[in-house]
Amino acid sequence: MTDQTLVSLEPVRSVLESLTQNQVQFTVYDRVRVEPTDASFKEAISFAKAGLFDAFVAVGGGSVIDTCKAANLYASHPDNDFLDFVNAPIGKGLPVTGKVRPLIAVPTTAGTGSETTGVAIFDYEPLKAKTGIASREIRPLLGIVDPLHTLSMPSRVAANSGFDVLCHALESYTALPYHQRSPCPPHPQLRPAYQGSNPISDVWAVHALRVVAKYFKRAVRDPEDLEARSAMHLASVFAGIGFGNAGVHLCHGMSYPITGNVKTYRAQGYNVEHPLVPHGLSVVLTSPAVFNFTSSMCPERHLEAAEILGADVSGVRRSDAGRVLSDTLRTLLWELQVEDGLQALGYSSEDVPALVQGTLPQERVTKLSPRSHTQDDLEELFHQSLKLY
């Protein structure tokens, strides 16, 4: 399973060669939609059901891997309705109890971490909001993380993918601690995939952040910088392992309506026929506002993150932690030539109510924010994110 750009590139070619050499029969599905929708998921599911496959190989970014997870899940559960496993409140959020087929994920972008997680995200077009399926059961059996594959990423794709890594790390490190999450599920099998920050996810988040601080700019600047691109590819895995059990919160929750409501904006470096806000970009644009907002709940972690990203935090008061991390992020975005806020994507103040409405169904992630928030708070965060510099 792959997309129409990748199908003629080296990563897919080498997988097909390997399958052929090892006498594995296969069929290629290359109609994955970049930033998938319920319709594109369903098309892949129909393909998977019809093919009666023993196993799946996904070669691509998060869109491909997520689509393949969904195709695998529903092909193995042919009697279930599409909304059965989709997160509540949009879907029924039923736990997956059956077995899926083996899925091997070969990521070609360095951002999603999807090869490490049990999450598949898509745009639910009837509500113009992103939602997803979250279950440990759909996690790939194996990830093959080959840094040579990321050399095919254009510079802007490397930047946007890296922002996803950055936000995975920052959000999972600052997520509501696991012991403050409530209510407790009545049975361990009903535990959510996202459990809040914990001592294991913290290790991965901080480590990923250190790698980002050291290698991100180099990986964007020079696509041939194999050391930097290798490091970012691994950072994507590391952050994935972290957020895959801790969860993400406001940047991700607010990003879904930002991509879902896109009007005409079409990102550079993506070979697609439709308006597109890349996931990493939609996530990072609210990050200066979000971490300024959340810092009061765990200022030490916000300061530590700012320091890892290069800020001088000596003598900074805890009450200034949010401002310092926010400024550090804004500087990083400026240096990486990121669009100047949601305005540059075609949004204005008038769109904020719709963006807030699109965030409300994302409770699965937004409830992991360390600081509780009202609709007014979300409105304010979107307003602050319209212009960054």
Q: Contact residues for a second copy (CB under 8 A)?
A: 199, 203-204, 207, 234, 238
Nearer to a second copy, 102 or 275 (CB): 102
CB of 199 to a second copy, least distance (A): 6
Nearest to 147 by CA among 89, 209, 40, 223: 223
CB of 215 to a second copy, least distance (A): 13
Nearer to a second copy, 205 or 381 (CB): 205
Nearest to 239 by CA among 273, 205, 263: 205
CB of 340 to a second copy, least distance (A): 36
Nearer to a second copy, 90 or 213 (CB): 213
Length of the chain: 389
Q: Which three-class secondary structure string do you get for 30-94?
A: CCCCCCCEHHHHHHHHHHHHHHCCCCEEEEECHHHHHHHHHHHHHHHCCCCCHHHCECCCCCCCC
**Number of neighbouring beta carbons within 10 Å of residue 47:** 16
- How far, in Å, are 9, 210, 274, 309 from residue 28 at the CA level? 14, 38, 23, 41
CB of 241 to a second copy, least distance (A): 9
Nearer to a second copy, 36 or 242 (CB): 242
Residue 35 and residue 149: Cα distance in Å, rounded?
20
CB of 126 to a second copy, least distance (A): 41
Name the DSSP class of 298: S
Nearer to a second copy, 231 or 254 (CB): 231
Nearer to a second copy, 234 or 345 (CB): 234
Residue 44 and residue 27: Cα distance in Å, rounded?
12
Nearer to a second copy, 85 or 238 (CB): 238
Residue 152 and residue 11: Cα distance in Å, rounded?
9
Nearer to a second copy, 145 or 276 (CB): 145
CB of 207 to a second copy, least distance (A): 5
For the record, the structure tokens of 368 come out as 């992991």
Nearer to a second copy, 73 or 235 (CB): 235
CB of 210 to a second copy, least distance (A): 10
For the record, the structure tokens of 156 come out as 């802007």
Nearer to a second copy, 81 or 227 (CB): 227
CA angle at 360 for the pair 354 and 361, rounded to the nearest 5°: 110
CB of 154 to a second copy, least distance (A): 25
For the record, the structure tokens of 358 come out as 């699109």
Residue 87 and residue 256: Cα distance in Å, rounded?
14
Nearest to 45 by CA among 106, 142, 37, 97: 37
In this structure, the strands spanning 103-107 and 56-60 are parallel
Residue 309 and residue 40: Cα distance in Å, rounded?
37
CB of 59 to a second copy, least distance (A): 20
What SS3 class is residue 197?
strand
Non-local (6+) Cβ contacts of 169 within 8 A are: 204, 205, 206, 208, 209, 212, 235, 239, 242, 243
The sign of the dihedral angle between the CA atoms of 92, 96, 98, 100 is positive
CB of 3 to a second copy, least distance (A): 28
